[in-house]
Chains A and B, each alone.
With several copies, the nearest count.
Chain A
Amino acid sequence: MSPEMSNSEIIGRTRDEMAKRVAQDIPDGSYVNLGIGIPELIAKFVPEGREFIYHTENGLLGMGPSPAEGEGNPELINAGKRQVTALPGASYFHHPDSFAMIRGGHIDLCVLGALQVAKNGDLANWSTGGPDAIPAVGGAMDLVAGVKCIFVVTQHCTKQGSPKLVDECTYPLTGPGVVNRIYTDLAVIEITPRGFQLIELSPGVSFEYAQERTGAPLLPIAP
């Protein structure tokens, strides 16, 4: 382990900064599904002049922010089972219709968390495959199979310091070759036929620092 890796100082983007950085890359007017965890934070950072419509697969298009304390409704929740609100222009629908939106290719963009992303775009985010794990998949496989563009937002490494961006996933796949871009605390990376193409390093992060924490070659930004 390099000296930097044991550095307790925060290097790279915070969770909020990662979410804000993702939001910058979402085109105006997009229909967006946000996974649980860091992706949920993205809703706070819609850039000036743009409008995104959030889809939650349990049956709401036009999802708004969390309700004020005490004003929530246990029958108005998101896919993470947290209470939310509905914006003007929202609509409710049943599960087959909601997943027709996903599986029929009508959602423009989905932002998900990850356990591992391989250099060919394989995503593992539903199970560690452990013999004792209770398998639980929810809508993750539907989203990666059906949504046109898949962004992943995740810490670059696990809490134990292992790379989450890998040569090949060791965990069970959510979908093969489905990821388009990865946003981490350290970098923005695009999946290309040649592998992990670096798009941008977070402020204060060097190429070497990011490469050391990545399980496959990072292709440098073209000069």
Chain B
Amino acid sequence: MIDKRVESLASAVADICDGATVMVGGFGEAGSPIELIHALIDQGATGLTVINNNTGSGEVGLAALIKAGRVAKMICSYPRSLNSTVFPELYKAGKIELELVPQGTLAERIRAGGAGIPAFFTATSVGTPLEIGKEKRTFGSREYVLEFGLSADFSLIKCKRADPYGNLIYNKTARNFGPAMAMAGKVTIVQSESIVPAGEIDPENIITPGIFVNRVVLVENPQHESALVAAGVSYP
């Protein structure tokens, strides 16, 4: 019978292997699955390609994973947030690769990866340095660039409520990349603030249907990145 709950953060991320591509949900701290990322640091996988809108802040969560030297390449739209120092230093030192993708193109590429669309055209980045190397084509009177779907070996996301089938709802603007990354991850691992019996979430209100989710782990009181950064916490 179907029950996607796993007992611990450690077991949830146990099979993430060296060199894996990992999508990490969140926009800034909203929706960032800090506890799953910390479990991944403890687990030790390295040489990762990480897809996230940002590069974390302070020395916790995603920034801590980067600081620990586990990330070979970031695919993101904005690696220069407030309190983001770990990535810039490694980047300037040539120790981490960056693929810069406009935010909407990033979101659409992730959705495409999850929806079986290998490539699509978009007007974003036409006439800018980010069009370099991209195939261009005119439709109607306008130029577009070809962009490719993105998928991942694993997606780590955070939600507000889940059920044992992996149906999810999110909290406010913490929803952001979660639903698309759940679709695009071969294995989608979710930390949820609560887990309720099947049927308790109104089927009209489910944002991520369970078909996109493989594992759910309960993290009842997740930490807030900004509070950790303000307190000067450095993980581990």
Contact = CB atoms under 8 A, between A and B. Distances in A.
Q: Do chains A and B touch in the complex (CB under 8 A)?
A: yes
Interface stretch (B11-19, B37-45, B60-68, B105-113): B105-113
A109 B173 CA distance: 22
B179 A136 contact: no
Given A74-B30, A75-B174, A94-B178, A141 B209 contact: no
B116 A74 contact: no
Contacts of B211: 31, 53, 55, 61, 101, 106-107
A81 to B, nearest CB: 4
- Of B206, B207, B224, which is in contact with the most chain A CB atoms at under 10 Å from its CB? B206
Given A89-B210, A145-B123, A103 B163 contact: no
A145 B115 CA distance: 12
Contact of A95 (B107, B122, B207): B107
A146 B124 contact: yes
Contacts, number: 215
Contact of B128 (A102, A106, A173): A173
- Of B170, B174, B176, which is in contact with the most chain A CB atoms at under 10 Å from its CB? B176
A91 B209 contact: yes
16 contacts: A58-B28, A88-B197, A92-B172, A92-B206, A93-B209, A98-B107, A103-B115, A106-B183, A136-B79, A137-B77, A139-B102, A139-B103, A141-B105, A145-B116, A145-B123, A176-B126
A141 to B, nearest CB: 4
- Of A29, A49, A139, which is in contact with the most chain B CB atoms at under 10 Å from its CB? A139
A76 B167 contact: no
B94 interface: no
A134 B173 contact: no
B194 interface: no
Contacts of B170: 92
A218 interface: no
A96 B127 contact: no
